[in-house]
Structure 1
Amino acid sequence: MADIFMIIVAIVAFVILAVVAIYLMINYQHPDDKNEAYFPKFIVIVGIMLAGFTAFLLPMDVANNDGYAGCTGYDTDLCGGLDMELVWSIFFWLIPIWCFVLIPFATFFYEADDGLLLNPGGEKQSRVKSAVVWTLGTIIIVGIIFVTTYFLFSEAQIPIKAYTAKTVAQGLTEQERGRIDFQSTVPAGVNFTTSFLADFDEGDRLYASGQVDLGEQTIPLKVSATTFFAGLMAWLGWFLFAIFGGIGMSALPMDLLLSFRNRPRKMDAAEYAEAQTSLRTRVNELVGIGEMIKVERDGQAPTNTSKNPFNKEKRKERQALNEFKSAVFLLEQDVQDFQACTSEYEKTNPLVPWISLIFGFFSCIISLFWLIHICVYVLPAKPIALFLNTYFAWFDGWFPLFGVLSVAIFTLYMLFAAIKGCFKFGMRCACIQLYPMIVGKTYMSAFLFNVGLVLLCSLPVVQFCATSFSSYARNSTIFRIFGVQIENLGFFGVFWKNNIFTYIFLVWSLLCMIYLWCKPKDGPPSSDALRDRLKSRTA
């Protein structure tokens, strides 16, 4: 029977996540979507809860398997009364369903024109039908990739330790042998094995004393489709998480601290006139650039109908449009700051900058601790120090709930860093579409994009945290899934065994830290350069 405390904690976490998701939706949604787009809103709310609960499952898994006496061996899934393997399997399927089915469908449905669409034959086509067609295409592509890779790379080579008992007369009792392989009797001189899921301390002690011989072997294991799909999702998501998460590790605390440093201050007459002139100039420049983009697109409409995403002209057009959107967004932010220093100064909440300072301070500590932990525990072949593992274990010894909350905080922080990194990357590099989250001005397309990004990064975050906290979470179900089965999948295992993604994440984080230190503030793209490029293309 499941432990009552674990059930209560899960219910409380579910309720908190639901409240947070609904609050974000209400607070950030655009007025145009207030009484519209109910299905995309449902997908977003559940997606936010799904991402948050996935991050919460890691500390819950640890508490379920480590919080009870005698929780060792192969029966750890039910130590706390919860079948964590079943729970993880459910989430392993819900995440790809949301990422590759529901979010694409909601996005295609939302972004379609109101009313009816025209298909290539000139016949009328409903928004639902159009969304279904595009979603089916996405499912087919993902299905082909999954089936192909599963048949090619789904066999894991699990390393095991093989202990060979020399003689019982040398002091190896049946009880000691049972502590190694969880069997009651093993004849002397016969090999008995245990995978590294178990605790090797006893076997290694007997080997050091000369009572057993030690050998290392591997056994093939065909992983389930559920486990493999989780590994494939984690592997694909790592490419996004390594880049965006690496940026966010520095950008998240830096932007919070800058928010405090650039807090609203009352302007005098001279400052007011100067700021107003600067904003007016930027508005006129962007209006002119917007007209040029409109003229260019109207002029290309009859002749340039190519939908190839790799078309050179289309790529330039998208980049120019993304730069224009970035400049408009930064202008809107500066206008808001200007109003906060002038007409809206008396209405500004003075506590908000100080809250940003507090969160920025703690974000700096968490980012620093993560980078140190990677260097001293994750990357060395033999860890230099347990670091965060020791901190979590100490909290568990004092008050178990604090240890679980600490793991949840460090895990969720990685998800927030990935979101921040994606947004920062879009601001500094115009090669991707910008989907900012702005209070009261966020369309559902931006919600869907950001929720999809979080879900794609959720599994690599869980895998990374399970590996990073392997000493603390050694008995957890997720460590057995990721640290044993998925990590030893032939092709994919190479990336995790050699810490390729982790090295990319660390190096990229340090490079971004240096870059953002030298250029902390997001600046609008050069209006002159953008105007010159548009002129050369329309000439």
Structure 2
Amino acid sequence: MADVFLIVSITVAFLILFVVSVYLLVYYQHPDDHNEAYFPKGVVIFGIMLAGATALLLPLDVANNEGYAGCDGYNTRLCGGLNMQLFWDIFFWLIPIWVFLMIPFSSFYYEADDGMLMAGTVVNPNPVRKSKVWQALGWTAATVLVIGIIFAVSFIIGSDSSIPVNQYTGEDLLLASGGHRTLYSVTPVINETSGEPLPFDPTTQMADMSSADASYAASVTADGEQTLVLQVSLTTFFAGLMAFLGWFLFAVFGGIGMSSMPLDLLLVFKNRPRHMDAVEFAEAQTSLRERVNELVDIGEMIKVERDANPGLGKVGGFGNYFSAEKRKDARNERQALLEFKQAVFLLEQDVDDFKACTQNYDNYNPLKPYICLFLGVCSLIISLFWMIHIIVYMFPKTPWAPFLNNYFEWFDKWFPLFGVLSVAIFTVYLLFAAITGCFKFGLRVACMQLHPMILGKTYMSSFLFNIGLVLMCAMPVVQFSADAFSAYARDSTINQIFNVQIANLNFFGFFFTKNIFVYAFLAFMVLSGLYLMCKPRDAPPSGKELRDRLRSRRG
């Protein structure tokens, strides 16, 4: 029977995630979307819940499989009464469904033309809605087809997992612990048909042998290492493939976010609004007015250029791809538009700060900078702890110190809930870092569309983009956390899935076993931290240079 505490915890967690999801949607959405886009809103709410629940599954897995008296051997995954294998399988399928089906359809539907089918021709709403649905279905079907082919070919080619197993000879090891089944294995033998761990066997690799078993273990002799080759299940392979693909995003954006998130929060406190005198007010007002005039000129130039070349920025203008000159013009137009949007966003931020120092000074919440200071210090500590843990535990072949694993276990000794909550905090923090890093990268490098989350000004397209990014990073976060906390979560189901079956896949297991992505993650974290310390402020692109560049292209 399932543990009552775990059932209550799951119910409360889902209720909290639902409330948080609705809160974020209501308070961040743009006024234009208040009574529109109901289907995308449902996708966003469930996507936020799915991302949060995926990150919280790891601490639930640990709570279910550890700390319960009477847990034995093969049934450790059911110690708390929950079948965590089933939980993980459900989420392993929900994430790709949301990333490659629901979010693309919602994005295509939301961004489709909703007012005109032909220039200058107004049509009734029903054909427009029907057209939007079919257009979104067409693009979504193409996306699903491409992804399906990639997944199918990958599974056929690389679904075999070569698991190293140390073989031992001796009497039944169950006698060592008085007949209780205790799984002393980090790489158990897996049933080739079902993919489930077999009952404890003398040929299983031993690890974490207790002192009570030391004398008995001395009588067991090692016969060397052998490799067990098996085909992992379809669900497990797709989870590994999603983690592999997501790592390319998470290594870059997550690494940048680990450094940028603490710095941004601390800068909110450092640059908190202060009352300006008359001279400072006049200088700031003049500077903002000049930037506004520059951007107005740039916006008009971009509009004129797009009107003169109506197919330049459109997807599907095949003529653009066969002409080198048109491809270059399209790239230049896109680059100018991205820089323009960067400058507009940073101008809006500076205008808000200017208002907070002038007419809205008396209404500004004085607690906000201090809350950001507290959160900035906490995030700085978590980022530093992550960096230390990666260096001392994950990189060395033999870990120098368990570090965070000991911290979680110490909490569990006197109040297990704190240990589980600590795992949840460190795991969810990685997802926030990915979002922050993506936005920071977009602000500093004008090569991607900005999708900021701004209170009361966020369109559904930005919601969908950020949810898709978080869900793409969810699997690498789980894999990364399961590897980082493998000593603490050694009996968890996800540890057996990622660190045994997926880590030894012939297709991409090399990247996991050799920590290739983790090295990249730490490199981006350190390099971005050094860069941001030298240039902490997000400076807008030069409006004068952009305006001159556009003028030269027109000439």
Q: CA deviation at 1:212?
A: 1.4
Q: TM-score by structure 1 length? A: 0.93
Matches within 5 A, 1:308-347: 311-347=327-363
Partner of 1:102: 102
The one-letter code matched in structure 2 to 1:89 is: D
Distance in 1 (CA, whole Å) between partners of 2:213 and 2:535 is: 52
Q: Give 1:93's aligned residue.
A: 93
Structure 2 residue aligned with 1:503, among 519, 522, 526? 519
Matched, 1:453 2:469: yes
Distance 1:248 1:400 in 2: 30
* SS of equivalent to 1:219: strand
Q: Distance in 2 between matches of 1:211 and 1:222?
A: 30
Counterpart position of 2:280: 271
1:370-385 to structure 2, matched below 5 A, reads: 370-385=386-401
The answer to whether the 8 A contact 1:181-1:193 is kept is no
Matched, 1:143 2:143: no
CA distance change for structure 1 residues 437 and 69 in 2, over 3 Å: closer, same or farther?
same
Q: Give the superposition deviation at 1:202.
A: 8.1
TM-score by length of structure 2 reads 0.90
1:482-539 superposed Cα distances (whole Å, 9 cap, x missing partner): 0111101012100000000000011111000000000001010111221232223222
Aligned to 1:68: 68
Letter in 2 for 1:219: L
Query: Residue 285 of structure 1 corresponds to which residue in structure 2?
Result: 294
Matched, 1:256 2:265: yes
Determine helix, strand or coil for the equivalent of 1:247. helix
C-alpha offsets along residues 178-197 of structure 1, whole Å, 9 cap, x if unaligned?
Answer: 76889xxxxxxxx941156x
Report matched runs for 1:361-400 at 5 Å.
Answer: 361-400=377-416
Other-structure match for 2:373? 357
Is it true that 1:487 corresponds to 2:503 in the alignment? Answer: yes
What is the match of residue 213 of structure 1? 222
Deviations 1:155-175 (A, max 9, x none): 00111120023xx7xxx8871
Mapped contact 1:116–1:127 kept (Cα < 8 A): no
> What does the per-residue CA deviation read over 1:42-92, in whole Å, with 9 as the maximum and x for residues that have no partner?
100110000001101100000000021243432122110000000000000
1:291-338 Cα deviation digits (max 9, x unpaired): 111111111126887636973322221111111001000000000000
The answer for the alignment partner of 2:309 in structure 1 is 300
Aligned to 2:157: 152
What are structure 1's unaligned runs of at least 5 residues?
183-190
Confirm or deny: 8 A CA contact 2:73 2:183 kept in the other structure.
no
Per the alignment, residue 514 of structure 1 pairs with: 530
| 1:217/1:530 CA distance change after superposition, 3 Å | same
**Residue 79 to residue 264, structure 1, CA distance change in 2 (3 Å):** same
Change (3 A) 1:277 1:439: same
Contact 1:58 1:408 in 2 (8 A): yes
Q: Is the 8 A contact 1:181 1:192 kept in 2?
A: no
- % identical equivalent positions: 62
Task: Look up the SS of the partner of 1:216 in the other structure.
Answer: strand
Q: Which residue of 2 aligns with 1:427?
A: 443
Judge conservation of contact 1:115–1:126 (CA < 8 Å) in 2: no
CA 312–302 in structure 1, closer or farther in 2 if over 3 Å, else same? closer
Contact between 2:157 and 2:507, CA under 8 Å: does it hold in 1?
no
- Measure, in 1, the Cα distance between the counterparts of 2:328 and 2:150: 27
Would you say the 8 A contact 2:313–2:334 is kept in 1? no
Residue aligned with 2:510, SS: helix
SS in 2 for 1:452: helix
Change (3 A) 1:115 1:273: closer
SS of residue matched to 1:490: coil
Matched, 1:23 2:39: no
Residue matched to 1:164: 169
Aligned equivalent of 2:135: 130
The alignment partner of 2:203 has SS state of strand
Counterpart CA distance in 2 for 1:128 and 1:106 is: 10
Aligned-partner Cα distance in 2 for 1:526–1:397: 57
User: 1:204 deviation in Å?
Assistant: 9.7
Per-residue Cα deviation, 1:370-402 (whole angstroms, up to 9, x for no partner): 000000001110000000000000000010000
What is the root-mean-square deviation of aligned Cα atoms in Å?
A: 2.3
**Match for residue 192 of structure 2?**
none
Deviation at 1:138, TM superposition (A): 0.5
Does the CA contact (< 8 Å) of 1:237 and 1:456 recur in 2?
Answer: yes
Is the contact between residue 253 and residue 435 of structure 2 (CA under 8 Å) also seen in structure 1? yes
| Deviates most, 291-300 or 493-502 | 291-300
Asked whether the equivalents of residues 166 and 222 of structure 2 are also in contact (C-alpha less than 8 Å), the reply is no
CA distance in 1, matches of 2:303, 2:491: 60
Alpha carbons of 1:280 and 1:383: their partners in 2 closer, same or farther (altered >3 Å)? same
- In structure 2, what is the Cα distance between the partners aligned to 1:509 and 1:395? 28
Give, in angstroms, the shift of residue 199 of structure 1: 4.9
Shift of 1:203: 12
Deviations 1:116-169 (A, max 9, x none): 6469xxx9861000000000001001000000000000000111120023xx7x
Report the secondary structure of 2:228's partner residue: strand
**Could you tell which deviates more after superposition, 294-303 or 513-522?**
294-303
Which residue of structure 2 lines up, in the alignment, with residue 225 of structure 1?
Answer: 234
Partner of 2:248: 239
Q: For 2:36, give the aligned amino acid.
A: E
Moved more, 272-281 or 209-218: 209-218
Distance 1:132 1:202 in 2: 62
Correspondence 1:13-52 to 2 at 5 A: 13-52=13-52
Q: What code does the residue aligned with 2:132 have? A: R
Amino acid at match of 2:92: F
Matched residues in 2 for 1:108 and 1:48: separation? 19
Deviates more, 1:295-304 or 1:13-22: 295-304
